């Protein structure tokens, strides 16, 4: 004879009802198995930085961060803007131009960046240092000596490199018309042109693997831009987000004497529709483990908590980042005002 199980439906109903009151964690609801971060190609500083951040995040979060390299920032920035890439590592200057669009902002009389009004900042990182590059045996000792020389330019797949090179010219009161432009598609191609002898002057971010490769092949060195008071004024006036920085002899490969180079801040960004939990998780992973970054690359020395929030950023912060910084007492009324002004640029 079967036992009387008339009590079972009531028991099951009670258990199910109680289960509905058990909270499901936000992590279980919203966290993906992996997220992507767009970066420049291997051999560049941005790729090295993205790889370092991905390593730290993957070690601290419950998901993996995967680096997705592209030819240049201008090729993957629209993907971040559209949410096809979860995160990106891009500079403040190109983001100023892309976020505001050509109808609002131009530098050097142009703004070729696609309009990207949907990008949002997660964390301001370290400054990216970049400068002119020549062969070690080149007679060129000063930026004022590059007039009439073969200089890499165009950079259609890596638009910010046009501005990095232009920054050097602007500091000295020069324009592209003062040099012989050697067209190249992207930053590493410019260094190849220098090594192969097709160009006499190129440029690159300091400390990149590509520079070490070129130095081993033919010997290269950086050349100072004009960092006089007048040169700095021309730089800051001509290009949004750029400022000068001196680097001491021997501090980085190809710095053979104290050298003045251009700098602009590095941003870890996402898109405005990104869900809050993954953004918070990535930010917390970097924040809590920021001391693990410097051993991975010299440019991480200035990737600090103190630099994460600043009112002079060129794109708005993501809401999850704002909440994160508020909880740590870092978000001020001044930041509210900066955020309001930036959002008003793309209502």
pLDDT, position 35: 98
* Domain annotation covers residue 119: yes
CATH code, 146 = 3.40.190.10
DSSP-derived 3-state class of residue 284:
helix
Question: Among 225, 244, 263, which residue terminates a domain?
Answer: 263
Q: Can you name the residues that pair with 37 across neighbouring β-strands? A: 67, 87
Burial call 76-114: b when 16+ CB within 10 Å, e when fewer: bbbbbbeeebbbbbbbbbbbbbbbbbeeebebeeebebe
**Is residue 74 domain-resident?**
yes
Based on the fold, state whether residues 168 and 257 are members of the same structural domain: yes
Residues 138 and 255 in one domain: yes
Q: Helix, strand, coil % (nearest 5) of the chain?
A: 45, 20, 35
Whether 2 is in a domain gets the answer no
What is the predicted pLDDT for the residue at 23? 43
123, 232: one domain: no
Q: Is residue 157 part of a domain?
A: yes
Last residue of a domain, one of 238, 263, 288: 263
Considering the domain architecture, whether residues 140 and 249 belong to the same structural domain is answered as: yes
Residue range of the domain that includes 156: 130-263
195 found inside a domain? yes
Residues 236, 143 share a domain? yes
264 φ/ψ angles, rounded to the nearest 5 degrees:
-150, 155
What was the pLDDT predicted at 73?
85
Q: Is residue 118 part of a domain?
A: yes
- Burial grade of 153 (CB within 10 A; 0-12, 13-18, 19 or more): buried
**Cα–Cα distance between 91 and 167 in angstroms, integer?**
14
Residues 259 and 247: their CA atoms lie apart, in Å, by 5
- Answer yes or no: do 211 and 233 share one domain: yes
Count of the separate structural domains present in the chain: 2
Rounded to 5 degrees, φ, ψ at 333 are -60, -35
∠ CA 62-63-67, rounded to 5°: 145
335 forms beta bridges with: none
Q: Are 171 and 227 in contact (CB under 8 A)?
A: yes
Same domain, 61 and 146: no
At a CB cut-off of 8 Å and minimum separation 6, what does 218 contact?
135, 136, 195
pLDDT score at 158:
87
Considering the domain architecture, whether residues 50 and 135 belong to the same structural domain is answered as: no
Q: What is the DSSP letter of 40?
A: P
Report the candidate in 284, 301, 283, 280 with the shortest Cα–Cα distance to residue 292: 301
Residue 17: its pLDDT value, please? Answer: 42
Please check whether residue 26 lies inside any domain of the structure: no
CB atoms < 10 A from the CB of 198, how many? 14
Q: How far is CA 302 from CA 60, 191, 203, 329, in A?
A: 21, 26, 22, 21
pLDDT below 50 — which residues of the chain? 1-3, 5-28
In eight-state DSSP terms, residue 226 is -
> What pLDDT was estimated at residue 181?
98
Q: How many whole angstroms separate alpha carbon 296 and alpha carbon 285?
A: 16
> Does the residue 318 lie in any domain?
yes
Verify that 257 and 312 share a domain, yes or no: no
CB 245 within 8 A of CB 301: no
If asked whether residues 83 and 134 sit together in one domain, one would say no
User: How far apart (Å, rounded) are the C-alpha atoms in residues 334 and 282?
Assistant: 25
Q: Of the residues 263, 282, 315, which one is the last residue of a structural domain?
A: 263
Q: Are residues 82 and 113 in the same domain?
A: yes
175 contacts: CB under 8 Å, gap ≥ 6:
169
Shared domain check, 192 and 202? yes
* Per-residue pLDDT at 29: 52
């Amino acid at each position: 004879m079967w036992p009387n199980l008339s009590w079972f439906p009531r028991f099951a109903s009670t258990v199910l009802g109680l289960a509905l009151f058990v909270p499901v964690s936000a992590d279980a609801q919203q966290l993906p198995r992996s997220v992507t971060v767009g970066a420049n190609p291997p051999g560049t500083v941005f790729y090295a930085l993205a790889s370092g951040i991905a390593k730290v995040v993957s070690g601290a979060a419950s998901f993996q961060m995967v680096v997705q390299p592209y030819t240049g920032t201008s090729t993957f920035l629209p993907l971040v803007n559209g949410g096809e890439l979860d995160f990106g590592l891009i500079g403040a200057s190109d983001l100023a131009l892309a976020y505001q669009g050509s109808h609002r902002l131009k530098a050097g009389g142009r703004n070729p960046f696609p309009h990207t009004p949907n990008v949002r900042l997660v964390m301001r990182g370290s400054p990216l240092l970049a400068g002119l590059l020549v062969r070690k045996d080149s007679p060129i000792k000063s930026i004022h000596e590059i007039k009439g020389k073969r200089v890499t330019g165009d950079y259609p797949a890596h638009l910010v490199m046009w501005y990095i090179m232009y920054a050097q010219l602007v500091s000295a009161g020069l324009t592209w018309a003062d040099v012989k432009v050697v067209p190249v598609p992207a930053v590493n191609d410019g260094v190849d042109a220098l090594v192969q002898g097709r160009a006499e002057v190129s440029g690159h971010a300091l400390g990149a693997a590509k520079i070490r490769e070129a130095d081993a092949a033919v010997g290269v060195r950086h050349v100072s831009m004009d960092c006089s008071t007048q040169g700095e004024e021309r730089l800051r006036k001509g290009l949004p987000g750029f400022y000068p920085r001196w680097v001491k002899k021997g501090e980085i490969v190809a710095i053979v004497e104290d050298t003045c180079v251009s700098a602009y801040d590095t941003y870890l960004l996402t898109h405005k529709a990104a869900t809050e939990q993954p953004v918070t998780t990535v930010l917390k992973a970097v924040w809590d483990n920021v001391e693990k970054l410097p051993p991975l690359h010299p440019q991480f020395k200035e990737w600090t908590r103190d630099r994460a929030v600043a009112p002079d950023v060129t794109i708005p912060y993501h809401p999850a980042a704002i909440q994160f910084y508020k909880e740590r007492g870092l978000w001020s009324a001044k930041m509210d005002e900066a955020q309001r002004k930036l959002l008003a640029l793309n209502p």
